[in-house]
Structure 1
Amino acid sequence: MNAGDVVVARRESVALPVPVLVLVAGFAAAVVAQGGYHLPGRVLSGLLVGVALVLARPRPTFLAALAGAFAAWALLRGLLAGDVLSGLPSAVAAGVFAGAVLVAAQADRAQRELLATVLVGVGALVGFSGWVAVVFRVPSWTTVAEGLLRAASTLTYPNAAAAVMAACALLSLVLRPSLLMTVLSFLLCAGIGATMSRAGVIAFVAGLLVLCACWGIRKTLTAALPPLLGAMVAVGALLPSMRLADEPRPLLAVLGLIGGALLAVGLPRLGRALLPVALVAVAGGAVAAGFTSGLATRLSFSSPDRSGATGAALDLAARAPLFGAGPGNGSFFFDQGNAGPRFMRYVHNEYLQVLVELGAVGLVLALGVVAVVLRALWRGRGTSLWAGAVAGFVAVLVHSGFDFLWHLPAVLIVAGLCAGLGFPSTKDGMDEGEAA
């Protein structure tokens, strides 16, 4: 065997480094453990990310320094409020995100492709499990809202599941086309629809716009339309089972899932006819949704609870604009007219939540972390995987303005992995990437 054969064999046998495997295990653990929201899941996922970070031994970076400063401020603010442990969740969140970025950034190009494929596979399982939960009325994997049974999967929170799937779906669009990848993309898009998450759809659309800018409109539409149209069929067939007042219709849902998958696989063969077919399907789907009872609240941008919580959060932030009310002290009371007084633990806007609890100091540090990541992503531009990674990361950023996502390690890890996948890497892929 000559030197050229050795190089070819090495390229064909790609394996993920041990630190990345541990990181993936942390992501999977968080997904299974209700997104890592509760203490056991948060400890397990955080511990695995920490082990991955120790094994990877990344170079000291400005990103690590800023994330460390945010974590230190959260702990200090908790100490000043009389409970240092109250700042621990925010500190761990910063560490989990930065750790995921730094570990993923060390993978070479081939390893990054494999890592992205693994993420897409896990995300597709989230989508499929959510679909199964709605069809067969699995209580722990669904959430009831406005008379609809919404898919929550093992994360048990529909909006968090939608955020994870949106990032993974955008990654799937830029990976090497294959029958399996098309099916996975379809399951992810159908899974987002099954959550009935308005913010999830907005975030996914924002990611698609970023993908159009970074990868090209034609490439993006060619990759995205088949799974999206297939998902419309699957979700349309799922709607009768989502209405809690009606009996589930599993046969219709299964036929819709199979039909949607076949449509997603078959549409790329249409070539130039794809766009007209897509427009007809979108119009038909819009008409069908208009005649579907129970969807009015999900098709509206109105959310009185969140509006009331936002007003209460702004009032609370105005009382302590610089240092905040303290970690864990962001509780929001407001009056909702005829509904009477209401209480919400989260404002459903992570940027505002940080401002309320950690003040302008915490928000500036958090936005500094985001800015450093975006700067590093800009330096890593050039590949299709980079475009998908940027789109996935932006989708999580957008969605974070509508829901409490930074409290779930599963979302933080997938956001960090997307960022790390798009960080600069050497051309030959033999050396670790620069992590800002």
Structure 2
Amino acid sequence: MDSLALQRFPLIAVLAAATAGLVAQGGFYLPGRVLVTALALTAFALALREQTTVTAVPLTAVAGAAAAIAAWAIVRAATAGGATTAAGICATLAVVVAAVAVTGRTRADERWSLTNALVALGVLVALTAWAGVAWRIERWSVLVETKLWRGASTLTYPNAAAAVLAALALLALAALLAEPGSTWRAVAAYLLLVGLGATLSRAGALAFAVGAAVLLSASTVRATLRHLAPATLGAAVALAGLVPSFPAGGDPEPLPAVGALLLGGLLAVHLPRLDGRRLLAAWAGVLAATAGGVAWLVSRPLPAQLDAIAVRRLTLDSMGREGALRSALDQVAAHPVLGTGPGRARFFWSDFEGKLVASRWAHNEYLQWLVDLGAVGLVLLGVLGAAVVVVLRRGRRSGAPPLLWTGAVAAIAALAVHSAFDFLWELAVVPLLFGVLVGMAGPLPGEESAPSLTGEEQPQ
């Protein structure tokens, strides 16, 4: 068997781990988590067999910080209890390190191929989230507070689906900037944005906005209007067709959803193909239609569907998160330095019906880390974050494809922001995706200081 085929085995194993995680409810439950971890470690073992010259920084910096966190989790489990949770923390860290090591060994063309595969997986997640709302498919959507149906896809948790879709949408938009004439890339970016909207996740929208700001730093105004804005506009049209299906009061309306999905796709694909004057005229028409629609809505009472969505999703109120935050801060005050121990804390608050709720998670991974492992654990987590920054900076100075680097960094930023609003790290697929993105944005094998590419780059 030739060496090229052997080099692809680690990437195949990583993609198998990502696929398993997405299908198995994100790898939240033990069987799925074990499978994702086993496949990630298999990919790492296969990567070690290669004779690739690899910059030491991506593996040693991240692995060293991860090892320190794992050691502290084990120490706290031995002194305060929580051995099972500590084992889960170690497995999560192992997945991150394995993903960084595997993707850090890949060439530029392999990173583009990996991007294509991840985006394709994301499109499947997006379509199932959209379909789950349009047809009220309970396997792919969730009825929240008996008020709204939200897309959840196979992950079965809307906010986790939003985190994955936001990250992959940013990666897809970066690929679209790199290959602006590609119909497939335009459709993929469009569908990922539709899926993200179908989750109705406020944290997902905020995380995407932060990542988009990072991505736009590498795009000109002209490229943004011609290639990125059409996908966003098309997604807005598709989501407008999904509005009747969100509220729980009525029946689903799949026909408007399908029609709007097709119309939005046409806009996303064909708007970028217009020449200068026609493009300006098209955007003028879009803006005029939008202004007219907004004026019409303002002058009239909101339809029942829009009112239900506005009341539940277009506010900053979140009874669960506020209650969990207060409970978590009380426990931090009681155990500020060492924490309560891995998995020992429980959080209590009243839900929207006034019933007492008990939860294992604080809906904020950084606060959760502080509760479980104390200030010591949070400092060690900061060290891991610093190690990731080192990897990203080395990758920027190397010959890593600039737009792919920016897209990966934007996706990492989105995951980091979203982690402040949900318990994402409990799903094995999210740490795996994070590690893959860090490796993709890291230095190319043996190229720590190669000059960056300039101009438009073409994915291979």
TM-score by length of 2: 0.85
Structure 1 position 424 matched with structure 2 position 443: yes
Shift of 1:159: 0.6
Structure 1 position 219 matched with structure 2 position 201: no
- Aligned pairs for 1:243-322 (under 5 A) are 243-270=247-274, 271=276, 272-273=279-280, 275-276=283-284, 279-280=287-288, 283=291, 291=303, 292-295=306-309, 296-322=311-337
Shift of 1:323: 1.2
CA contact (8 A) 1:182 1:265 kept: yes
- Aligned pairs for 1:5-84 (under 5 A) are 17-57=8-48, 61-84=60-83
CA contact (8 A) 1:330 1:353 kept: no
Q: Secondary structure at the match of 2:101?
A: helix
- Code of the residue aligned with 1:235 in structure 2: it is L
CA contact (8 A) 2:99 2:436 kept: yes
Name the residue aligned to 2:120. 121
Name the residue aligned to 1:10. none
Shift of 1:165: 0.7
Structure 1 position 195 matched with structure 2 position 199: yes
Structure 1 position 415 matched with structure 2 position 441: no
Q: Secondary structure at the match of 1:293?
A: helix
Cα distance between partner residues in 2 of 1:282 and 1:411: 36
Q: 1:280-327 CA distances to partner (integer Å, 9 max, x unpaired)?
A: 566577676964121122011111221111011011011111111111
- Code of the residue aligned with 2:374 in structure 1: it is G
CA contact (8 A) 2:81 2:341 kept: no
CA contact (8 A) 1:173 1:220 kept: no
CA contact (8 A) 2:105 2:445 kept: no
Cα distance between partner residues in 2 of 1:427 and 1:102: 14
After superposing the two structures, state which structure 1 stretch, 161-170 or 207-216, moved more: 207-216
Shift of 1:151: 0.4
Cα distance between partner residues in 1 of 2:62 and 2:91: 15
Name the residue aligned to 1:204. 208
Shift of 1:215: 4.2
Shift of 1:109: 0.3
Cα distance between partner residues in 2 of 1:121 and 1:284: 36
Q: Percent identity?
A: 42
Cα distance between partner residues in 1 of 2:293 and 2:98: 42
CA contact (8 A) 2:106 2:445 kept: no
Structure 1 position 352 matched with structure 2 position 373: no
CA contact (8 A) 2:343 2:360 kept: no
Cα distance between partner residues in 1 of 2:96 and 2:289: 39
After superposing the two structures, state which structure 1 stretch, 418-427 or 43-52, moved more: 418-427
Name the residue aligned to 1:3. none
Cα distance between partner residues in 2 of 1:173 and 1:337: 37
Shift of 1:336: 7.0
Name the residue aligned to 1:8. none
Name the residue aligned to 2:457. none
CA contact (8 A) 1:167 1:415 kept: no
Name the residue aligned to 1:364. 379
Shift of 1:224: 2.0
Superposition CA RMSD, Å: 2.5
Change (3 A) 1:68 1:284: farther
Change (3 A) 1:221 1:135: same
Name the residue aligned to 1:404. 423
Shift of 1:277: 5.0
Shift of 1:72: 2.1
Name the residue aligned to 1:343. 358
Name the residue aligned to 1:167. 167
